Structure 1
Amino acid sequence: MGEIQQLYEVFKQYPKITIDSRCCPPNSIFFALRGENVDGNDYAEKALNNGAEYAVVDRVDVAQNDRYIVVDDVLTAMQRLAAHHRSQMKTKIIAITGTNGKTTTKELVATVLAKKYNVLYTDKNHNNHIGVPLTLLRLTEDDEFGVIEIGANHKGEIAELCKMVQPDYGLITNFGRAHLEGFGSLEGVIEAKTELFEYLKENRGRVFININNNNIVEHSKGIGNISYAINNDKADVSGYITEQNPCVTFSWSSPRFFVVTQKVQTNLVGTYNADNLLAAIVMGLFFEIEPESINEAIKEYIPENHRSQYLKTDNNDLVIDAYNANPSSMEAALRNFANLKYPHKTVILGDMLEMGAFSDDDHRETVDLISALKFDKVFLIGDNFSKIESSYVTFRNVEEFITYIKDNPLINTAILLKGSNGIGLEQAIEYLK
């Protein structure tokens, strides 16, 4: 702890952290992280020249003076510093993980809690071994709650992140077949995600659970819980979708918290967001936020970053869910889109990445589902979809699709845009308006 304690004393004086030598605000410390193709140590001097007070490095040869702090490993030092800083804060931390919906849930929870408390939450989806410590290092004594998104693509990662985050509360949105290159199977996904519950069980935390999900219920045994569920009166908080046109109108109530039926209009597209909404509502009630304030927060929440977004233009209606994709989220998006009341519907799908040995089968099953749901037009983008024999128009990449759509514009149709972030479907949005 000696090295970290010394670093913490510096951090208390200069509490802004940067890992980008081009962006070094006053009172900041630059951490010279190594990447696949770059070595942050090579940019330490530049960071100091650009305004950083100190540079944390792990190469002695770059340390020119006492403004360089030499450690054994920069990433490990940043993670240990984050864990130590978190341990000094009285902030109550809620950790959220799961296959689908964790970013939307995190943002909804933070929006609801902010009606009463000072809340720090994960920026965008910075939920990995770098993003989590950067988030924790933003904690201040004024923060009453921290809402921390935790992601993973291999077993053991969430367990390690929990040691850093030290959550008081936890929620798993769901389990789905994603990142199978690292997890191997759905069972591997469940084992990895429930590392959050294992930490909370060992440390006497509490969990918020969707009791319609049997796997979540099973793995939450032995932990104090607060429950929610769609169309299930046994839950502490229950709700249901009353309308989708195309954004969801949602009704909810809670016998446990003595709340009669409430109705709220959201800015979210997709019936699959019902669980995400309920997660935010149950946390709001548990932390003593008035139902009126919860509804107000939900009404105010506008999704960003191409997640569950609705965009109406002069020519088309766009349903944009192009940040992430796996078999379960793809099926949910397609079935939801099929149920929307539009006379003409166009589906534009990008590959599902990181599916490992299951990739061909998963893409073939998605094509079969599209055929069963019968859309007016279908465009498939990416190497994986291009391998599948079908009657649909396919493109190797989004650039090819944009070239096509410039010459063959889509007019007067509803459009679903869904795929993994790595495919870059967001580049096509401008040409679909």
Structure 2
Amino acid sequence: MERTLERITVISLIQKLKRQSLHGVWPSVELSLSTDSRQADQTNFFFALVGEKFDAFQFVEQVISQGCPLILFQYSEEKDKKALELSKLHNVTFVGVSDTTKSLQELAHLRRFEWGQKGGKVIGVAGSNGKTTTKEILRSLLEHSGFNVCATEKNNNNHIGVPLTILSVKDFHQVLILEFGSNHPGEMEVLCRISEVDAGIITNIGDTHLEFFQNRENVLKEEAEIFFQMQKKSKGLIVLPQEDVLLATLKDNSIIHQVSQLNWSKKTIAFDFGNSHFELENDQLEGRHNFVNLAMATSLAQTVWPAMKDKILLSAQKVNLPKNNRSEFIHLQNTTIFLDAYNANPSSMRAALELFNHWCTEKSIPLEKRCYILGDMYELGDKEEAYHQELGKELRTMKASHCYFVGKFSLAYNRGFGQGHCFSHPDDLKPQMSDLKSKFSAFFIKGSRGIKLESLLANEERSHTGH
């Protein structure tokens, strides 16, 4: 991921980092940050990150040849010796640090407060499902309300993506929206400490990453870290849905603000927030879960910016979502495809099925003309087969009659459903897609990112999704 740091601040911030070594002199020109050796040039400093299987220090001679004047690397005696030689030979400055990831996070923390002192607000979005959608709804809402917004791109929401997003914020931005993702205990604590958000939304608590969290109670502890960090400082704002049983256990009236009495109908959602009742209309969004997210985004925005309340409520009807393989309807000449090939777990699968079936009912598409294609759900722990089987049972309960299961857990799905068609890989099902499209009016296609169910679509269909 390539992000650009505001040039007027980068050198002064880097000089504040704890360092192991320094070879050369600080450049007299301001530079942008690059973590991509292919793009590092005379306008950038190169942050040579180290991961489990890579060390970007191996590319230093390449970035030097491209004119890069400053390189930050993870210190070792061997690398420091080479850095000293290259510094003298090419007049390039090298900064050695003990841990490049922690230094990146420290740099982001410094930038967050430098930018925040100018009046910028940091908003965090956490939760098991719907984080990216909620982030995009909030971004769209605030942009339509007249704010300059910087937000997490795609799902760059981890220990590298969050600091790079912070470092991409420009002085003219008024709001920074950060999506927080975690699949191991303790990761949220790091993200919240770097970001120190002013306000946040927790979307829900579901069966995500159970391979590492084991149960929903542990998921709650992780996702609620954004709230716990605020409690320590006795300030902040968290918006969450009252209907989520586990989130409802979080108690602190000075920080927690609940959206309650949610009542969704087609293109309208009514809800209570604080002492007021609201009704929002929107023709762009589909499904109850997206309208719940809209209610939370609108509630947060009008609380953080009360003087903008009327404009924010008016802007809610203009909110739309980008096309990115997430819960989108692709309308073709003779059929409609619901595609969500970005992520999947039992909670999000149920929400997507509810959305799809509601849409089909509205369009008078009978069950026998609906085709369901479900792919593997990953990172569910030792109960992964049971979760797939349970969803198969739920498909049978809803009287789905044409189901196709793809991936390692296709047989587990079918043990629950009983009469489905099983395929080990999307390529095995792909030859049948043309025939299936001639039989069915609506398709439900959803699975985890790794199973790549979007590959089932023809090239011209994939063009509708932004590919």
Which TM-score band (shorter chain)?
A: 0.7 to 0.9
Counterpart in 1 of 2:6?
none
Given candidates 257, 264, 273, the residue that maps to 1:226 is 257
Structure 1 Cα separation of the partners of residues 151 and 230 of structure 2: 19
Change (3 A) 1:15 1:209: farther
What's the secondary structure of 2:40's corresponding residue?
coil
Counterpart in 2 of 1:366?
391
Given candidates 326, 329, 341, the residue that maps to 2:345 is 326
TM-score, normalization by structure 2: 0.82
Measure how far apart 1:47 and its partner are.
2.9
User: What is the identity, as a one-letter code, of the residue corresponding to 1:151?
Assistant: G
Measure how far apart 1:405 and its partner are.
2.5
Structure 1 Cα separation of the partners of residues 227 and 26 of structure 2: 34
Counterpart in 2 of 1:193?
223
Contact residue 16 and residue 138 of structure 1 kept, 8 A: no
Given candidates 9, 25, 32, the residue that maps to 2:48 is 32
User: What is the identity, as a one-letter code, of the residue corresponding to 2:156?
Assistant: H
CA deviation string 1:349-376 (max 9, x = no partner) = 1100011101010011111111122224
User: What is the identity, as a one-letter code, of the residue corresponding to 2:141?
Assistant: V
Change (3 A) 1:155 1:298: farther
Given candidates 256, 259, 268, the residue that maps to 1:250 is 268
Structure 2 residue 93 is the aligned partner of structure 1 residue 77: no
Structure 1 Cα separation of the partners of residues 67 and 138 of structure 2: 35
Counterpart in 1 of 2:129?
100
- Aligned pair count reads 418
Change (3 A) 1:11 1:423: farther
Counterpart in 2 of 1:215?
246
Contact residue 282 and residue 319 of structure 2 kept, 8 A: no
Measure how far apart 1:143 and its partner are.
2.1
Specify every segment of 5 or more residues in structure 2 that has no aligned partner in the other structure, as ranges. Answer: 1-11, 19-24, 462-467
Counterpart in 2 of 1:405?
433
Structure whose CA Rg is larger: 2
Change (3 A) 1:154 1:255: closer
Structure 2 residue 403 is the aligned partner of structure 1 residue 378: yes
Measure how far apart 1:192 and its partner are.
0.9
Contact residue 375 and residue 446 of structure 2 kept, 8 A: yes
Change (3 A) 1:25 1:256: farther
Change (3 A) 1:261 1:197: closer
Structure 2 Cα separation of the partners of residues 256 and 147 of structure 1: 23
Structure 1 Cα separation of the partners of residues 134 and 26 of structure 2: 35
Change (3 A) 1:292 1:375: farther
Structure 2 Cα separation of the partners of residues 54 and 410 of structure 1: 59
Change (3 A) 1:371 1:214: closer
Counterpart in 1 of 2:263?
240
What's the secondary structure of 1:29's corresponding residue?
strand
Counterpart in 1 of 2:4?
none
Given candidates 246, 256, 263, the residue that maps to 2:281 is 263
Measure how far apart 1:347 and its partner are.
0.8
Measure how far apart 1:222 and its partner are.
5.2
Measure how far apart 1:294 and its partner are.
4.1
Contact residue 270 and residue 308 of structure 1 kept, 8 A: no
CA deviation string 1:264-306 (max 9, x = no partner) = 212x332222221111111232223344554445534123321
TM-score, normalization by structure 1: 0.88
Structure 2 residue 140 is the aligned partner of structure 1 residue 111: yes
Structure 2 residue 412 is the aligned partner of structure 1 residue 395: no
What's the secondary structure of 2:283's corresponding residue?
strand
Change (3 A) 1:295 1:101: farther
User: What is the identity, as a one-letter code, of the residue corresponding to 1:348?
Assistant: I
Structure 1 Cα separation of the partners of residues 174 and 335 of structure 2: 43
Return 421-430 or 51-60, whichever deviates more: 51-60
Change (3 A) 1:169 1:384: same
Contact residue 348 and residue 378 of structure 1 kept, 8 A: yes
What's the secondary structure of 1:120's corresponding residue?
strand
Structure 2 residue 339 is the aligned partner of structure 1 residue 313: no
What's the secondary structure of 1:209's corresponding residue?
strand
What's the secondary structure of 2:457's corresponding residue?
helix
Contact residue 137 and residue 293 of structure 2 kept, 8 A: yes
RMSD value, Cα = 2.7
Structure 2 residue 80 is the aligned partner of structure 1 residue 60: yes
Counterpart in 2 of 1:89?
115
Measure how far apart 1:383 and its partner are.
0.6
Structure 1 Cα separation of the partners of residues 114 and 13 of structure 2: 17
User: What is the identity, as a one-letter code, of the residue corresponding to 2:168?
Assistant: R
Structure 1 Cα separation of the partners of residues 386 and 274 of structure 2: 44
Measure how far apart 1:426 and its partner are.
1.7
Specify every segment of 5 or more residues in structure 1 that has no aligned partner in the other structure, as ranges. Answer: 233-238, 244-248
Change (3 A) 1:408 1:242: closer
Structure 2 Cα separation of the partners of residues 207 and 28 of structure 1: 37
Return 322-331 or 208-217, whichever deviates more: 208-217
